[in-house]
Structure 1
Amino acid sequence: MLALRLFVRVASVNSFTQAAADFDLPASSVSRHISALEATLGQRLLYRHTRAVRLTEAGERYYQQVREALLQLDMAAEQVGGETAEPQGTLRLNAAVALGRLHLVPLLVEFQQRYPKIEVELTLTDAFIDPVQEGADITFRVGRLEDSSLVARSLGEQRFMVCAAPAYLKRQGLPQAPDDLEHHNCLVYKGIRGMRQWYFRSAKNSPFRVCQAKGSFRSNNAECLLEAAIMGEGIVLFPTWLVHQALSSGALIPILTDWEASEDLDTHAVHVIYPENRMRSAKVKVFLEFLFNHIGQPPYWDSCLPNEH
């Protein structure tokens, strides 16, 4: 059984070293277990290279079946205690870095106080991951949602705010319209898809119009830009889940509130996505119930929006 679990983990992360660390074993021990498994099957499962590991054709077929079988075994073991048993096991979550740090960590501390037998493995990354490939029970997806066979539930529409520190507005003045941003220092996110555009519209049924937002400081880390804005460096446009604490404390002030702002021509939401079979797991069920009760509808972070208290 250990060899199967090690094989699935190596195949998921494409690394003997990472799998060994996850199981607190020497990499040599992981290699021996998988070599023994290959010998038993009479099939090579993995191509081993100096810098990477990848599945053979036979390994890919075996991986898909073994991963599902292990999941079924884990859920069966979890349900042996019956409906009244306390949920337990390891809950694997994946989320964007800022969302996880700001919202999931505080929530998970309270969640584990209520369910002490559930261990949590939280992976934070801004890279797009395949939840099934990574073995995540629940993945938090911010923004555009790709078509997939996974179940998706919305935590709430992603709403955006334009804001700046009081010191900046005192020094540079208050923009009255999106076009005024041309004369201000806008702190713009620049990721793998290039500079983020800023869009505005005056009414729900009107199309978004791009605004030429530019400034002296760009970053691929939203929290760096947020911190710079709090220090009076310039103006930011971010979703409410990212700026609500700064707005609530008065560190930032909302501006251009007569316009709806966005980073895209379409509106998107924050979703949780998961394979349908995960809902048979008690730990997933209780976490989702806890999550949605905690976040609320609309999400608590939208309390910073004008007239939405």
Structure 2
Amino acid sequence: MKSNLDLNALRTFRLVVDTGGFTAAAHRSHRAVSSVSRQIAALERSLGQTLFHRHTRAVALTEAGARYIEAIRPLLADLDQATDAVRAAHDEPTGMLVINAPVAFGERQVVPLVRAFSQRYPNIRTELRLTDHIVDPVYSASDVTFRVGPLTASNLVARTLAPMRYVVAAAPDYLRRCGWPDTPQALRGHDCLRYQGEYGRQHWYWREHGAEAFQRLDVDGSLYSDDAPSLRHAAVLGQGIVLFPTWLIDRELQSGSLVSLLGGWQWEVAPEVRSVHILYAAPRLGPRKVQAFVDHVLEAVGDPPIWDRTASIRR
């Protein structure tokens, strides 16, 4: 080692790796790109090793850089935890909490959770990133990630918030005009509004309660959209029938602007039951703000989840 290492430089190195570049790291740390670049260059001189291959639009770890980040990451995490532990006796959790969530779930359920959390912990600021693309929590430097549906392999802790519970629903006006379907097959004669995402138009599946296998039901209608709230709004206006999870239409079911249908069957948009999860680093690796938020979410959502307790579901 040619000189004493700067702890802040190590943190900056980790931030560049996690965000994928100098520009993103500078944005996250509210600094100039040139400041981040100089700090990394000074660290490389101290180590006598090049840590990044620098390209026009991106950076990539060298072999030495890859080994070094793996070596220092747990040390920095332990240091963060130790610092938080010293402060814990007297201080509230502080800092910036970065949360990633799907768009519709974030708008409908995460925003109220963040609002209540901010009232409870006023010293924590929150950055809420909503996207329907699956984002790597480590690469994007997200502290907490909500996932709706299947999970991919990860070293993060994955807590199940609740199973997805889908409901067939329509507005009273639509039902007066078009009648009530009394079996899953009857939906083929109705105007079914379908979500259309990056994997194509969503399919509808049903099964008897207690049955093992789901059956696909081919339905169609007058409107497709890649925006679930727009389909929800169209259904409230009486355009057609939707198949949505209770977390997306709980308030409409409670108010009566949507009415649940065909509750004698179990519904899904995949041939399996899926869940909503919350992902985060293991408690010993994550700062107190993360554990505080996770605890808040688990308490607020509860079991059964709050959106199933408020929704009026017809059987």
Which SS does the other structure have where 2:222 is aligned?
coil
Find the counterpart in structure 1 of residue 82 from structure 2. 76
Find the counterpart in structure 2 of residue 36 from structure 1. 42
Distance 2:230 2:61 in 1: 38
Distance 2:26 2:194 in 1: 40
Say which is worse superposed, 231-240 or 54-63, in terms of deviation: 54-63
Shift of 1:198: 0.5
Query: What does 1:294-309 correspond to in 2, within 5 Å?
Result: 294-303=300-309, 304-306=311-313
Superposition CA RMSD, Å: 2.3
Offset from partner CA, 1:140-161 (integer Å, 9 cap, x none): 2211133443322211111001
1:47·1:53 contact (CA, 8 Å) conserved in 2? Answer: yes
Find the counterpart in structure 1 of residue 272 from structure 2. 266
2:255 to 232, 249, 257: 249
1:164·1:253 contact (CA, 8 Å) conserved in 2? Answer: yes
Q: Does 1:238 align with 2:247?
A: no
Shift of 1:278: 4.5
Find the counterpart in structure 1 of residue 177 from structure 2. 171
1:18 to 15, 24, 32: 24
Offset from partner CA, 1:127-186 (integer Å, 9 cap, x none): 222223333333222111334433222111110011122232233322222212222222
Find the counterpart in structure 2 of residue 191 from structure 1. 197
Structure 1 residues 29 and 281 mapped into 2: Cα distance closer, same or farther (>3 Å)? closer
Distance 1:55 1:220 in 2: 36
Structure 1 residues 231 and 140 mapped into 2: Cα distance closer, same or farther (>3 Å)? same
Shift of 1:63: 2.3
2:263·2:314 contact (CA, 8 Å) conserved in 1? Answer: no
Q: Which amino acid aligns with 2:302?
A: G
TM-score of the pair, normalised by structure 2: 0.88
Find the counterpart in structure 2 of residue 213 from structure 1. 219
Q: Does 1:27 align with 2:33?
A: yes
Offset from partner CA, 1:42-64 (integer Å, 9 cap, x none): 22222222333222222222223
Shift of 1:84: 5.2
Find the counterpart in structure 2 of residue 151 from structure 1. 157
Sequence identity of aligned pairs in percent? Answer: 44
Structure 1 residues 92 and 66 mapped into 2: Cα distance closer, same or farther (>3 Å)? farther
Which SS does the other structure have where 2:139 is aligned?
helix
Shift of 1:238: 1.1
Q: Which amino acid aligns with 1:289?
A: D
Shift of 1:260: 1.0
Distance 1:207 1:54 in 2: 46
Q: Which amino acid aligns with 1:115?
A: Y
2:167·2:246 contact (CA, 8 Å) conserved in 1? Answer: yes
Q: Does 1:203 align with 2:214?
A: no
Distance 2:105 2:152 in 1: 19
Distance 2:21 2:155 in 1: 27
Distance 1:210 1:239 in 2: 17
Which SS does the other structure have where 1:276 is aligned?
coil
Find the counterpart in structure 2 of residue 9 from structure 1. 15
2:81·2:285 contact (CA, 8 Å) conserved in 1? Answer: no
Which SS does the other structure have where 1:141 is aligned?
strand
Shift of 1:269: 1.4
1:156·1:298 contact (CA, 8 Å) conserved in 2? Answer: yes
Structure 1 residues 288 and 60 mapped into 2: Cα distance closer, same or farther (>3 Å)? same
Find the counterpart in structure 1 of residue 103 from structure 2. 97
Distance 1:70 1:119 in 2: 22
TM-score of the pair, normalised by structure 1: 0.90
Offset from partner CA, 1:200-259 (integer Å, 9 cap, x none): 112222421100022232222222222222222222111111111121122211112221
Shift of 1:92: 3.0
2:283·2:291 contact (CA, 8 Å) conserved in 1? Answer: no
Runs of 5+ unmatched residues, structure 2: 1-6
2:134 to 128, 135, 150: 128
1:150·1:274 contact (CA, 8 Å) conserved in 2? Answer: yes
Q: Which amino acid aligns with 1:38?
A: E
Find the counterpart in structure 2 of residue 119 from structure 1. 125
* Length, aligned pairs only: 308
Which SS does the other structure have where 1:100 is aligned?
helix
Distance 1:255 1:228 in 2: 17
Distance 2:270 2:312 in 1: 19
Find the counterpart in structure 2 of residue 182 from structure 1. 188
Shift of 1:29: 2.3
